[in-house]
């Protein structure tokens, strides 16, 4: 059983199909989008060993040829060197503008393949088949694509929407628990930013979403995609409301930057701590009840996510180091730190001109814990 959601973006609108076992039916979903040239399937070594064979069998059954590009696993693949190698590999296959790049994998594969799709021949078709929870609920939806530069993460890229997202939730069965948990932090984010009822459902069903599979997991992926689709449809290029998706991320990105992106701290783990800190700052500023902040922390801890920097195995420095790292975030506008804060669970808003002493107080308390 699969269900279809729509990202409403005028002529760039597309479907997100969510269901267990979708890869086995990918050929039928891709056939209407495929041009005369072979599909260009981009994946990484781990995902290739687990899921590429089924995808190729499904394409074959639908009469679709493909070329495969298998990258090394990990964040280091979001580099200029890998982008160049991928683009030249794609060009060697003599693509046409109607050729379609298919990203099979997590956010790393999706981000790199998306940049390549946006650049080759000034834009090829692009389809996402996300295989991590993080990619299914966040990175595969909404059209942000990027690689990293020596100046920072995700600084080189484009808004480039896919023509289709196929989220096979069954692929999450092979994903390590730590990666599933990291993706779950982004699921919780959707409840915290705009849907208190969903957060309450997650308090009850969180472990089933992370470990149980089945309908609870599919429901969580669908709810998350629907929340993201609505925000992206309202603000595709992040001029306003899309910034709400950064709840927990100003802190999270600073933590990741201080941890040097070496795999010691996963993005979702940094976001989990960031969500706790965003609610702690909201409570410190008198915007939300301290009990709401405590409740966020309780739930994330209950499922096994880190909730404080002391839970992370990385040396992050002091308050000034973290605030300086926040200042280097690409979401800084006119030199001001912008935070997504909350009036309560399910009620986030964009705040600017935050009182630095409140921020220092929250971070000093955090770092002394």
Which positions are catalytic? Answer: 122, 144, 186, 228, 238, 242, 246, 249, 253, 267
78 contributes a contact to ligand NAD by CB under 6 A:
yes
CB of residue 349 vs ligand GLY: minimum separation in angstroms? 16
50 contributes a contact to ligand NAD by CB under 6 A:
yes
| Chosen from ligand GLY, ligand NAD, none, partner binding at 306 (C-beta under 5 to 8 Å by type) | none
Stretch that binds ligand GLY, among 1-9, 20-28, 138-146, 300-308 (CB under 6 A): 138-146
Stretch that binds ligand GLY, among 77-85, 137-145, 164-172, 312-320 (CB under 6 A): 137-145
Find, among 44, 14, 3, 18, the residue nearest to 172 by Cα.
18
174 contributes a contact to ligand NAD by CB under 6 A:
yes
How far, in Å, CA of 94 to CA of 260, rounded?
A: 38
Which residues lie below 8 Å from residue 214, measured CB to CB, with a gap of 6+? Answer: 20, 208
144 contributes a contact to ligand GLY by CB under 6 A:
yes
Q: What string of DSSP letters covers 207-273?
A: HIIIII-HHHHHHHHHHHHHHHHHHHHH-TT-SSGGGGGGTTHHHHHHHHHHTTTSSSS-HHHHHHH
How far CA 100 is from CA of 80, 81, 168, in Å, comes to 21, 22, 19
How far, in Å, CA of 67 to CA of 141, rounded?
A: 24
Stretch that binds ligand NAD, among 59-67, 130-138, 283-291, 303-311 (CB under 6 A): 130-138
47 contributes a contact to ligand NAD by CB under 6 A:
yes
Torsions phi, psi for 163 (to 5 deg)? -95, -10
Reading phi first (left if > 0) and then psi (alpha if -120 to 50, else beta), residue 87 is in alpha
**H or E stretch covering 145:** strand 144-149
Q: Which is nearer to ligand GLY, 239 or 334 (CB)?
A: 239
138 contributes a contact to ligand GLY by CB under 6 A:
yes
245 contributes a contact to ligand GLY by CB under 6 A:
yes
Q: Are residues 261 and 147 in contact, defined by beta-carbon separation less than 8 angstroms?
A: no
Interface mask toward ligand NAD for 195-214; x: CB under 6 A:
--------------------
How far CA 342 is from CA of 160, 350, 360, in Å, comes to 30, 9, 18
Q: Hey, which residues between 94 and 113 contact ligand NAD (CB under 6 A)?
A: 105-109, 111
Q: Which is nearer to ligand GLY, 144 or 222 (CB)?
A: 144
242 contributes a contact to ligand GLY by CB under 6 A:
yes
Strands 144-149 and 152-159: antiparallel
How far, in Å, CA of 261 to CA of 269, rounded?
A: 12
Q: Hey, which residues between 301 and 360 contact ligand NAD (CB under 6 A)?
A: none
Which residue number has the CB closest to ligand GLY? 245
Q: Are residues 299 and 275 in contact, defined by beta-carbon separation less than 8 angstroms?
A: no
Q: Which is nearer to ligand GLY, 182 or 245 (CB)?
A: 245
CB count in 10 Å sphere of residue 287: 17
Q: Hey, which residues between 17 and 46 contact ligand NAD (CB under 6 A)?
A: 44, 46
Count the site residues for ligand NAD by CB under 6 A: 29
| Chosen from ligand NAD, ligand GLY, none, partner binding at 269 (C-beta under 5 to 8 Å by type) | none
Give the one residue of 27, 142, 162, 170 binding ligand GLY; rule: CB under 6 A. Answer: 142
Stretch that binds ligand GLY, among 19-27, 89-97, 238-246, 274-282 (CB under 6 A): 238-246
DSSP state of 72: P
Q: Are residues 339 and 250 in contact, defined by beta-carbon separation less than 8 angstroms?
A: yes
Residue 73, judged by CB atoms within 10 A of its CB (0-12, 13-18, 19+), counts as middle
Q: Hey, which residues between 265 and 284 contact ligand GLY (CB under 6 A)?
A: none
Q: Which residues bind ligand NAD (CB under 6 A)?
A: 44, 46-47, 50, 73-75, 78, 105-109, 111, 131-132, 134-135, 138-139, 142, 144, 154, 171, 174-175, 179, 182, 267
Q: Rule CB under 6 A: which residues touch ligand GLY?
A: 138, 142, 144, 238, 242, 245
């Amino acid at each position: 059983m699969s269900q279809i959601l729509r990202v409403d973006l005028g002529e760039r609108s597309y479907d997100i199909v969510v269901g267990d076992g979708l890869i086995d039916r990918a050929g039928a979903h891709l056939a209407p989008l495929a041009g005369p040239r072979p599909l260009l399937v981009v994946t990484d070594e781990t995902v290739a060993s687990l899921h590429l064979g089924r995808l190729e069998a499904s394409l074959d059954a639908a009469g679709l040829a493909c070329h495969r590009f298998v990258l090394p696993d990990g964040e280091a693949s979001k580099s200029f060197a890998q982008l160049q190698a991928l683009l030249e590999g794609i060009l060697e296959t003599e693509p046409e503008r109607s050729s379609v790049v298919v990203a099979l994998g997590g956010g790393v594969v999706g981000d790199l393949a998306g940049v390549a799709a946006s650049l080759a021949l000034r834009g090829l078709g692009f389809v996402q088949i996300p295989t991590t929870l993080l990619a299914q609920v966040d990175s595969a939806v909404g059209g942000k694509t990027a690689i990293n530069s020596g100046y920072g993460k995700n600084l080189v890229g484009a808004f480039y929407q896919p023509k289709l997202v196929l989220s096979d939730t069954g692929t999450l069965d092979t994903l390590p628990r730590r990666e599933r948990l990291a993706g779950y932090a982004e699921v919780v984010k959707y409840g915290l930013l705009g849907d208190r009822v969903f957060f309450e459902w997650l308090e009850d069903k969180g472990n089933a979403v992370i470990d149980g599979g089945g309908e609870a997991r599919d429901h969580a992926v669908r709810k998350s995609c629907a929340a993201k689709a609505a925000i992206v449809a309202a603000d595709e290029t992040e001029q306003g409301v899309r910034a709400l998706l950064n709840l927990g991320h100003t802190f999270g990105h600073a933590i990741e930057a201080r941890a040097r992106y070496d795999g010691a701290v996963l993005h979702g783990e940094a976001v989990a701590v960031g969500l706790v800190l965003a609610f702690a700052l909201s409570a410190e500023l008198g915007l939300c009840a301290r009990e709401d902040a405590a409740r966020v922390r309780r739930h994330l801890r209950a499922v096994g996510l880190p909730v404080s920097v002391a839970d992370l195995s990385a040396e992050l420095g002091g308050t000034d180091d973290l605030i300086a790292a926040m200042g280097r975030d690409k979401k800084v506008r006119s030199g001001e730190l912008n935070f997504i804060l909350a009036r309560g669970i399910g009620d986030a808003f964009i705040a600017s001109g935050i009182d630095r002493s409140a921020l220092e107080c929250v971070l000093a308390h955090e770092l002394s814990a």
